[in-house]
Amino acid sequence: MLMKYFIGLSIALFLCLFTRAQSPSEQLNQLFDARSRKVLVAAHRGDWRNAPENSLQGLLNCIAKGVDIVELDLKRTKDGQLIVMHDPTIDRTTNGKGKPGDYTLAEIRKFRLRNGLGRVSGHPVPTFEEMLLVARGKILIDVDKGYDYFPDVVRLLKETGTLNQAIANIDDDTSLDSVEARYGQLDDRLTVMPIINYGRPGAAGIVSGYKKHRRTIFQPVFDTDTLLLLDSLPALRAAGFGIWLNSMWPKLSGGHDDDKAVEQGQSAATWGWLVNKSASVIQTDRPVELKAFLR
């Protein structure tokens, strides 16, 4: 009996020492593997409960906690630099006032980010390039609110060597034809994610149009879980496309949200429902709790 115990312990130690963790690029590629059942966790605006949203510290926290993906948002300064910022103004998230485009990068770096309680921290507004360089080789990046700067986003991904670990979001209900009419044919290596309101007329047509770009992750948004189009999600995943579902707020996921999962103890009926709908990624404001549920 004792011998069996030591044999089992030796096998476990061997697996711990020699099982190689997946790189971010391998994780991203796995989203397009129809055989994979793995679900990745995306932290909405980073670890904003413990650091300012869209901050470098929030990114570092996510890396340390083993989160798979960090979602961030972009704006442009007066001198054309891409910074990480969600709102059209800096009023809510910094101790400054006005629009990001009112300031040069040097000027906006003088302000400090506010934490979740609205208190001023010591953290400056990061640039997109800074975030990419810190994330390189460590964590996947989802680029939201960057569609207006699409060519610059793609250029920076290539220059920083992070094209293979990033997802570029496409504005709500924008067809692939519209994207390519505006920006030209997509690079085959680029992973894009159209955000599609599944309750609106024409949603099925937008989905169909993206199937010719193989590195597409679909992000359905729906305020009710009774839509017939949702029944097609398993077929999309079986065809080798990614499925990104959101659990931050009820209106994004038909009522299957984080607060219901954590505060009301209904994780199986919320996160579990999203998993059963063939989610390959779930974006959350509760990344640690979601990771624990998935384990």
| Tokens 């400090």, located at residue | 112
Q: Residue 210 pLDDT > 50, yes or no?
A: yes
pTM: 0.92
Q: Residue 3 pLDDT > 50, yes or no?
A: no
Average pLDDT over residues 61-89: 98
Structural tokens at position 89: 């103004």
Kindly report the average pLDDT of the chain as a whole number.
94
Q: Residue 18 pLDDT > 90, yes or no?
A: no
Q: Residue 12 pLDDT > 50, yes or no?
A: no
Q: What is the pLDDT of residue 9?
A: 37
DSSP string across 150-209: HHHHHHHHHHTT-GGGEEEEE-TT--HHHHHHHH-SPPTT--EEEEEETTSTTHHHHHHH
| Tokens 């990771």, located at residue | 291
Q: Which residues are known to be catalytic?
A: 44, 86
- Interatomic CA distance for residues 293 and 267, integer angstroms: 8
- Interatomic CA distance for residues 200 and 29, integer angstroms: 30
For each of the domains in the chain, give its residue range(s) and CATH number, in order of start. 23-294 (3.20.20.190)
Q: What is the pLDDT of residue 96?
A: 98
What are the φ and ψ backbone dihedral angles of 84, each rounded to 5 degrees?
-95, 110
Among candidates 283, 280, 239, 220, which has minimal Cα distance to 69? 283
Among candidates 252, 268, 250, which has minimal Cα distance to 219? 252
Q: What is the pLDDT of residue 20?
A: 54
Average pLDDT over residues 4-14: 40
Q: Residue 218 pLDDT > 60, yes or no?
A: yes
Average pLDDT over residues 219-240: 98
Alpha helices in 19-147 (DSSP H): 24-30, 56-64, 105-108, 128-135
Average pLDDT over residues 207-221: 98
* Cβ neighbours of 100 (radius 10 Å): 23
